[in-house]
Structure formats: structure tokens, C-alpha cells
Amino acid sequence: MIPEFLLNRLVNDYGEELTKKIIERYKLKRVVSLRVNTIKTNIEYVKSILDKNNISYKEVSFIPFALIVDCDEKKIQELDIYQDGFIYLQSISSMLPPVFLDLEKKSTLLDMAASPGGKTSEICALADNEIYVTATEVNEIRRNRLVYNLDKLGCKNVTTLRVDARNLDDYFSFDNILLDAPCSGSGTIEENDFSKINEKLVDNIVKVQESLLRKALSILKPGKTMVYSTCSILKSENEDIINKMIKEFNIEIIPIKVDFETLPSNIEGVQTIMPSEANEGFFICKIKKL
């Protein structure tokens, strides 16, 4: 059963009818999806391997390097193309934030919460390994996992730092920043996972999100853009924080669009993806520092 605090917050954010729909979506089993690693291969080759292994798939209109497959993750992990880093298991929603980054050759980018490396490696692929990435992860085990995945996927020009991104020195400055912030996971939880979320967790994580975003905006170069995202659909972790930053910093929201069902927002141009069988609930906001 959904925790009372979460039910109350969803009703407060979206009203009773949409909350009922969200709760029904929590009951769905999500599809298995993968990202074709264009550093090493192309989607046509991956599709040919799936065909040979009698694995059916569907393309994703909005993400040309994504496939939804009709099998479990274990079967994908047994394939050579997985073991050799030609593909990466990743949810559709989590592939979206890097798509909205302004990636220019020879530019610098900070990934503030990089492990296990799905979005970091996607950035490298989108930029053809021609940008300079700094990826931070404070936990040593998670950082080792990040390094392993980046190497496996053929990523270059990436520096990994074992550091809490909130503690980065202010002499750093970047052309791009991705802050896929730690969050409550309210967009990704399934009906049997409600024990993983509680009110204290949400309240504490909001403080972390705010401090990470303040750091990001302080070291983002003027005139440049960043993306803030979470796998939460709670406004306290998303729009409420963005509205605080609008008051504190000279920034503007760059409107983005997604080809998926979304939830209503009180900030024009941001996107909150509705949980569904195909998509995790996700919030994405593109910010320009003026």
C-alpha cells in the first residue's frame, strides 16, 4: 500500500484523479530497454544480433539509439554485444537528460552524480568522445563501477574524481553540467518497493539537491546551459527547487519537449514524465546562466 505521506504529497501536487492514475502506473512492470553505444557500433548492427537471437524489439521515436526488447535483462547480459560494451541496459527516461545538453567539441562538462556511468557514457557517445568530461562520485565502490563502465564502453577524455560534488572548489568552471541528482525515486518505485521511500528521506534529499544545484550554478560559465534531472515526480524535489534557484541566481529556463506522456508543471518548459510501462517517472529541466 502506498505510504500516506506519499499519497498526500501526490494529491497536493497533482490532485486526486491524476494521483489515482499514478498509483495504477506503480503497479505496472516496466519494459526492458537498452541504449546502443554508438562509440562502438550502430543500431542496425545491434538489431541484426537481436534478430539472430530471436529477440523482438521496438524502436523509440524520440531516441534513435534506444530499443525496447521483449525479454528479460539476463538474456541481454548473456549476449556478446552486451559483454563487449556495444549496448548498455538503461531505462528510456534516464536516456533523456543528456539529449538536452548543448555539447560542443572541445567543451568541458561536469557530471555531478555520475555512477554507474550510464549518462556519462551516453554523453561521450553523443559528443563522439570529443569533449572533456569530469565525472564525480564520492563513494569508492561506486566510483570503481563508474570507471569500469566507462572503460568497457570506450569512453575517452573522462576524468573521474572521488569527491562530493558539493565540495568542488569554486575555481572550477564548466561549459556544461549534468546534475542528475540523488532523489527519492518516487518516479521509479514499483508497488512492492514503497518501503524504500519515507518522508524523512524526501526532506533530507531535498537539502542535498538544493546544495548540489547551487554549486552547479556557481561553477557553470555565464551564457552556458545545464540540465537538472531527477527520477522523482514530487514537486518538492523538482519545481520547488528550481523556483528557489530562479530567485537566487540570474538564470532562465530553456523550454524542452519530450514525446511522452507528462504531468502538469507550474514552470513553463520543464518536463515531468508520467510513470508508465515504458517510462520511469522523471523530471528534466534545462537552465541557462545569464
pLDDT tens for each residue of 57-71: 999 988 999 999 999
Residue 67 domain-assigned (yes or no): yes
pLDDT for 236? 98
pLDDT, tens digit (0-9, with 9 covering 90-100), for 189-229: 987 788 889 999 999 999 999 999 999 999 999 999 999 99
**Checking phi first, is residue 185 left (phi over 0); if not, alpha (psi -120 to 50) or beta?**
left
Residue 94's SS3 state is helix
45 and 159 belong to one structural domain: no
Residue 261 domain-assigned (yes or no): yes
66 and 109 belong to one structural domain: no
Q: Rounded to whole angstroms, how far apart are CA atoms 181 and 125?
A: 21
74 and 130 belong to one structural domain: no
Q: Which residue has the cell 549476449?
A: 79
- Of 64, 129, 117, 56, the C-alpha closest to 89 is 117
216 and 246 belong to one structural domain: yes
Torsion of CA 191, 201, 33, 37, to 10 degrees: -170
C-beta separation of 210 from 244 below 8 A: yes
Domain count, the chain: 2
Q: In 3-state terms, the chain is what percent helix, strand and coil (to 5)?
A: 40, 25, 40
pLDDT, tens digit (0-9, with 9 covering 90-100), for 157-175: 999 999 999 999 989 999 9
What domain range includes position 76?
A: 32-89
Residue 4 domain-assigned (yes or no): no
pLDDT for 50? 98
72 and 191 belong to one structural domain: no
79 and 102 belong to one structural domain: no
Among the candidates 69, 89, 109, a domain finishes at: 89
pTM attached to this predicted model: 0.97
203 and 253 belong to one structural domain: yes
Q: What is the mean pLDDT of residues 222-251?
A: 98
